[in-house]
């Protein structure tokens, strides 16, 4: 079989006026692989990591895991549940603020909805917001609003605008044009197209994204608590500093259990929204 193919190839190559296609070049792929390899080597060499300490890591994880989870201190569970509730409230307020601001702006940033200058400005704003982590935003807001859970909610809301806005205009741009064309044919303007064509079609997806943003905020609220924004993260940071490992273990159990429960409920709601009953 292979000899027959080779014979046909030689015959085709020897025919006058018949040229084989050029072999595809792999220079770009090879160069990209080399660059990635060099960056990886440089990053590894400049980390100043004691690789010999990695041998002691499993034993350290086992020891601290025993300190935290062998006999957790459940006496502070009521306070932990209250602080967890504050974190959930902070995440929910941040998600609502994000949705209220980002969905109108995201729709204006979609192609065919807002003018070109406004689309570019809004997309640039979303990109800038996405480039700044939630912790940095919280640290900046701490100088204005102080050490309160409102600071965490505001930081989560502002940080989510960049991502939620991008999801919104990408959702609008993937919709089919049939409903929008029908509204325009009936004499509707831009506002009518948004109200009667784009908004009903995009609503299920946008609600699903809003619930997903709430899930992300639940996790980030614990991180923001570490910098003084309140909630379960602040309690976790305090007891970690005092090396109260039995209480830290209890707090971690509360965080993991609550996060998994919220993810399960939110995931069921998102499936219900997208797939129906």
Q: What is the CATH number of the domain that holds 174?
A: 1.10.3720.10
pLDDT score of 175 more than 60 = yes
User: Residue 68's pLDDT is what?
Assistant: 87
49-63, 115-129, 202-216: range with highest mean pLDDT: 115-129
In a domain, 132, yes or no: yes
Task: Mark out the alpha helices in the chain (DSSP H runs).
Answer: 2-14, 27-45, 57-69, 77-108, 116-131, 134-145, 149-173, 178-185, 190-193, 199-225, 232-241, 245-275
In a domain, 31, yes or no: no
Phi and psi angles of residue 174, each rounded to the nearest 5 degrees, phi first? -90, 0
* Separation CA 65–CA 52 (nearest Å): 21
**Confidence band for 45, pLDDT divided at 50, 70 and 90:** confident
In a domain, 211, yes or no: yes
Q: Are 94 and 153 in contact (CB under 8 A)?
A: yes
Residue from 77, 219, 226, 102 nearest 167 by CA: 102
In a domain, 187, yes or no: yes
State how far Cα 273 lies from the chain centre: 20
pTM: predicted TM-score of the whole model, two decimal places: 0.75
In a domain, 60, yes or no: no
Average confidence (pLDDT) over 100-128: 90
Q: Which domain holds residue 106?
A: 75-275
pLDDT score of 177 more than 90 = no
Q: How many structural domains comprise the chain?
A: 1
CB-CB neighbours of 95 under 10 Å: 24
pLDDT score of 127 more than 90 = yes
Per mean pLDDT, which range of 30-44, 79-93, 243-257 is the poorest?
A: 30-44
């Amino acid at each position: 079989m292979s000899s027959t193919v080779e014979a046909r190839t030689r015959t085709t190559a020897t025919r006058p006026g018949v040229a084989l296609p050029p072999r595809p070049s792999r220079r770009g792929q090879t160069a990209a692989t080399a660059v990635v390899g060099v960056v990886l080597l440089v990053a590894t060499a400049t980390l100043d990591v004691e690789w010999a300490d990695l041998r002691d890591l499993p034993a350290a994880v086992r020891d601290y895991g025993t300190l935290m989870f062998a006999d957790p201190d459940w006496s502070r569970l009521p306070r932990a549940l209250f602080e967890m509730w504050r974190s959930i409230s902070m995440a929910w307020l941040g998600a609502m603020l994000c949705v209220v601001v980002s969905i109108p702006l995201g729709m204006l940033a979609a192609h065919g909805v807002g003018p070109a200058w406004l689309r570019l400005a809004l997309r640039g704003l979303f990109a800038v917001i996405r480039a700044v982590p939630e912790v940095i935003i919280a640290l900046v807001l701490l100088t204005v609003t102080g050490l309160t859970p409102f600071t965490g909610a505001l930081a989560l809301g502002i940080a989510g605008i960049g991502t939620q806005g991008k999801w919104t205009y990408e959702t609008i741009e993937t919709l089919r044009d049939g409903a929008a064309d029908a509204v325009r044919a009936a004499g509707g303007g831009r506002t009518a197209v948004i109200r009667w064509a784009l908004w009903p079609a995009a609503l299920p997806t946008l609600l699903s994204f809003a619930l997903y943003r709430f899930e992300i905020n639940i996790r980030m609220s614990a991180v923001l608590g570490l910098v003084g924004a309140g909630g379960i993260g602040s309690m976790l940071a305090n007891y970690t500093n005092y090396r109260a490992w039995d209480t830290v273990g209890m707090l971690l159990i509360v965080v993991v259990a609550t996060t998994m429960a919220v993810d399960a409920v939110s995931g069921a709601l998102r499936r219900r929204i997208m797939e129906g009953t």
